[in-house]
Structure 1
Amino acid sequence: MTELTKLPHTGLEVPHTRFTLSDFQQMTTRGGIAFNATVHEGGRCLGIIENEGNGGDTGFFPHTAEDRHAMAEFTTSCRMDGDVLRVEEVLDNLVTEHELAQTVAASQGKTILRGKDDVGLNGTLVTVSIPPVWLVTHESPLGAALLE
C-alpha cells in the first residue's frame, strides 16, 4: 500500500492530495443539511459529491467511467486512524476537510474552537477574537524551569 497523507482538519488519511473541491454549497432542509461540491483533479472535473440532506448516503456522481474508477481507487485506499472507511465516510470527510479549511482561511487572526461529539464527529465551530497569550516565557518560573 502507498504511504498515506493525513489531512489536517479531519485526520482522514488519503493516498494523494491531487483531488480538490470547489463550488461548495449547503443548505438546511427539514431532514438535515444538504450539500454538494465539485471534485477536480488538476484542471479536470471528476464529478460531484452530493448529499440530499434527508438522512441518506453521500454519493459521488462522476463525469465519466474513468472518473468513477479514479474515485473508487481513492476511497478504497483512504483510512482513519488506520481503519478502513465506507465510501460515504470518505466523501463526508473530504467535504468536512474542505469546509474547515475554508473556515480557517477566512478566520485570519482569530481562534477557532471545534467541538466533537462522543464518537469523534465534528460538532460546533466557534470563532473568537482573542489576543495571543504567552503561557510560558523565560521570565516566568515555569518557563525558566522548562527552558533550562
Structure 2
Amino acid sequence: MTESSLTPRDPAGLRAAMASAGLDTVRLARASGVTKQFLSLLLRGHRRCRPSTAQAIAEAIGKPVASLFTPLMFEDSNTEDVEPHMTTTPVLREEDPLLTFEEVAALARVPVKTLRHYRAIGKGPEFFPIGRRLKIRESKARAWIEQFENAPAE
C-alpha cells in the first residue's frame, strides 16, 4: 500500500509566501487548522504533512499546493511479526535519499537503542551530521545491513 506525504519544497519559500500573504505562524496555524508547534516544525523542515493539511495551508496563503509542497511517496513494508515498537520502513523515492537514525533502525528492523549501541562500539553504519541530526545515504545503510546477511552465524 502506498501513502502520500507532503513536505515543503523550500521552507524559506513557504515563510516568504506567508509573509507576502501577511500571515505569521499563529495566524496561519489558526487559518489552516494545525497547531503553531506543528507549523513551526514544518517550516523548519522537521515534519511532513498530509495532502489535506497542505491544501489548507496553501489556501490560507493563497497559493497553489504544488508551488509550496512536494510529494514524498512511502511504501509500507510487510508488518507481520514486527514488534509494536518497530515501525514500517519509509522508503523515499529518490535516487539515493538521506535517511535518519530512526529510519535506518526501522529499515534494519532493530530498536533504535540497538543501533545506537552498534554505533557506540564501532559496528554501526557511518552516519554524518547535518545540523544536529545524523544522516546516512540509503545505499550505505543497505550495504551495512547486507554485511550481516553475509556474515557467518555465531
**RCO comparison, higher one (Cα < 8 Å, 6+):** 2
Q: TM-score, normalised by structure 2?
A: 0.24
Greater share of residues in strand: 1
Greater share of residues in helix: 2
